[in-house]
Amino acid sequence: MTTETLPDIDIEAPAPGEVFDAETRQKTAYLPLYKVIMWDDNLTTMEFVIRMLVKVFGKDYNTAEKLMFEVHLAGAAHVDTLPLERAEFKVQQVHTAAALENYPFKCTVEPA
């Protein structure tokens, strides 16, 4: 009677944030993700929030409108999940645009 066994492969366990592909025997590292949160205020227009969601975060108009209403009604909304540098860059873009239009609009980044 024949017994099949798997070949002996010396594979170290992947670290958190890494995935090991057994077929290619390669490790792939993934950057930790962060949530971008938009916060409501009494001065920033709904149109501005929608514009930022469309232009900066690449949302379609209907999704942007739903997220804008979530920000408005709930006080804040999670609008995207990205690696830290990209999340911080997009937040900076929103803050710069808000400052140019004299809005106090704020976004924050927090671990996902």
Helices 46-55 & 61-74, crossing angle to 10 degrees?
130
In a domain, 60, yes or no: yes
Locus of tokens 């690449």: 58
User: Do 57 and 90 contact (CB within 8 A), yes or no?
Assistant: yes
User: Do 80 and 36 contact (CB within 8 A), yes or no?
Assistant: yes
Collapsed DSSP state (helix, strand, coil) of residue 78? strand
In a domain, 61, yes or no: yes
Which sign does the torsion angle of CA 50, 97, 77, 74 carry?
negative
Question: Can you give the residue range of the structural domain that contains 88?
Answer: 31-111
In a domain, 46, yes or no: yes
What pLDDT was estimated at residue 19?
Answer: 63
In a domain, 104, yes or no: yes
What are the helix (H) ranges across 2-112?
A: 46-55, 61-74, 84-100
CATH number at residue 56: 3.30.1390.10
Digit-coded pLDDT (tens) for 11-60: 555 555 666 666 777 766 788 999 999 999 999 999 999 999 999 999 99
In a domain, 3, yes or no: no
In a domain, 97, yes or no: yes
Question: What mean pLDDT, rounded, does the chain reach?
Answer: 87
Q: What is the pTM of this model?
A: 0.74
In a domain, 24, yes or no: no
What pLDDT was estimated at residue 31?
Answer: 86
Tally of structural domains, the chain: 1
Residue 88's pLDDT band (cuts 50, 70, 90): very high
In a domain, 37, yes or no: yes
**Cα dist. 96→41, 45, 56, 57, 92 in Å?**
16, 16, 11, 14, 6
